[in-house]
Structure 1
Amino acid sequence: MRDITGRNALVTGSTSGIGRATATVLAGQGAYVLITGRDQERGDEVVDVIRAAGGKADFLRADLSDASSADILAELALDTAGGRIDILVNNAAIGALGATAGFDEALYDNHFTLNVKIPFRLVGAIAPTMVERGSGAIVNITSMAGQFAIPGMAVYGACKAALGLLTKNWAAEYGPSGVRVNAVSPGTTRTPFVAPLGDALEGLAAQSPLGYVADPAEIASAIAYLASDDASFVNGVVLNVDGGRTAI
């Protein structure tokens, strides 16, 4: 098992799904994990699970609805973790299906705020503190929808494509200072986030060579790898964890 004891991790959107699985894995490997989300009860429940297993975690409530909320979270996280965040996982996201024509403008803006602006602000606030120490790992969660067309996912896919390119730019910007920036691009994964897809989820999964819907823990394992010293020479990579879907 990887040992990241003594490191502090901030995982956004970590009260369910891939974020929760990632927080649990990182805590199991010795990190002190800051759980974030909008629901206090769900956040407390994740913290209780981690602590019951012998890990260290606290919950920071954050709605991440605008730039100022990201700035507030960054400041609170740094204060809570003693001024040091070693691992930042940008996982919080929104995704809605819809045709381009008639797509609600407010919903469009919400997508780009949470999926692009919030990671941008968090990296801008936290990466410089990593640069000062000469080390740190940032992992962004993109999507296979940001790499090829999926009907009805134009807005969500555009957001994730933007985050993928930001990952590469940040890797170039912060890499010389010892801060690695990578991304994980999940395929179909069984989370509350994709529950609205219903039976269509199985159909999407069937298009990949492995042909099944992933468990969040399978994605979390890849995220934890990129956050660890095992990936010490990995920088600027978008790692596809999609059962081979982008390989065909």
Structure 2
Amino acid sequence: MAEKNESNNSEDGRWTLQGKTALVTGGTKGIGHAIVEELAGFGATVYTCCRNQEQLDQCLEKWRGKGYKVEGCVCDLTLRPQREMLMEKVINFFQGKLNILINNAGILLVKPATEFTEDDYSIIMKINFEASHHISQIAHPILKASESGNTVFISSIAGLVALPTSSIYAATKAAMNQLTRNLAYEWAKDNIRVNAVAPSIINTPLIEAAKKNPLTK
């Protein structure tokens, strides 16, 4: 792989995302934050969201200071109307065409399986699976309009193997993996590639937050 120069383009100029557009959910922390920086560093124009206005403003200020083209808004992905509001903003910002969708936002709550409550199940399912599915649905027209669409789900190794104290989280990631297969099959005709990335444990704020409060991401 060619080494990157300071602008994150390959030295021979072939590796670039100049002119491409991307939406990254949950882009102000952890994996999402790194993805925003990587995409923007390669020249893409990025839109992101989170639930905390102060956190979003701090990130946008830092990114703009680096010369990155990043915009964003506050959005609670547990709420269907807010997901629709997010996509309206994205459609307007990118003038109806989207090249890259990264379904990254997620939460983790660590508990023995016997201790999960109805509320635990609801919130984890809404953010980790329902929101990703819904965002993908309503992004489909503008991904198709780009004639080169890419959807990436940030899954987890927990969706592939058994791990302790994360049964509901693991179930949402397993569902995400199957959704990836189905959408890849259905949307190939629309020139939309669909993939999932399933990392193992990564040292991000999500890990510590999960031990205290699942709603902090």
Check whether the contact 1:26–1:33 (CA below 8 A) recurs between aligned residues: yes
**TM-score, with normalisation over the residues of structure 2?**
0.87
* 1:103 corresponds to 2:116: yes
* Structure 1 residue 102: Cα displacement: 3.1
* 1:168 corresponds to 2:184: no
Query: Tell me, which stretches of 5 or more residues in structure 2 are unaligned?
Result: 1-8, 10-14, 212-217
* 1:73 corresponds to 2:73: no
Aligned to 1:123: 136
C-alpha spacing 1:59/1:133, structure 2 compared with 1 (3 Å): closer
Structure 2: how far apart are the matches of 1:49 and 1:3? 22
* Structure 1 residue 132: Cα displacement: 3.3
* Structure 1 residue 123: Cα displacement: 0.7
Query: 2:34 is matched with which residue: 9, 18, 21?
Result: 21
* 1:88 corresponds to 2:101: yes
* 1:192 corresponds to 2:205: yes
Aligned to 1:244: none
Structure 1: how far apart are the matches of 2:113 and 2:67? 48
Structure 2: how far apart are the matches of 1:103 and 1:132? 42
C-alpha spacing 1:17/1:169, structure 2 compared with 1 (3 Å): same
Check whether the contact 1:38–1:61 (CA below 8 A) recurs between aligned residues: yes
Check whether the contact 1:143–1:185 (CA below 8 A) recurs between aligned residues: yes
User: Which letter does structure 2 place at the counterpart of 1:149?
Assistant: A
Aligned to 1:212: none
Query: 2:57 is matched with which residue: 44, 48, 53?
Result: 44
Q: CA RMSD in A?
A: 1.4
What does the per-residue CA deviation read over 1:204-242, in whole Å, with 9 as the maximum and x for residues that have no partner?
xxxxxxxxxxxxxxxxxxxxxxxxxxxxxxxxxxxxxxx
* 1:61 corresponds to 2:74: yes
* Percent of pairs with identical residues: 34
**TM-score, with normalisation over the residues of structure 1?**
0.76
SS at match of 1:166: helix
Structure 1: how far apart are the matches of 2:169 and 2:119? 14
Structure 2: how far apart are the matches of 1:5 and 1:138? 18
SS at match of 1:15: coil
Number of positions where the alignment pairs a residue of Structure 1 with one of Structure 2: 198
Query: Tell me, which stretches of 5 or more residues in structure 1 are unaligned?
Result: 199-248
Check whether the contact 2:107–2:210 (CA below 8 A) recurs between aligned residues: no
* Structure 1 residue 133: Cα displacement: 3.7
Aligned to 2:192: 179
Structure 1: how far apart are the matches of 2:141 and 2:165? 37
C-alpha spacing 1:27/1:156, structure 2 compared with 1 (3 Å): same
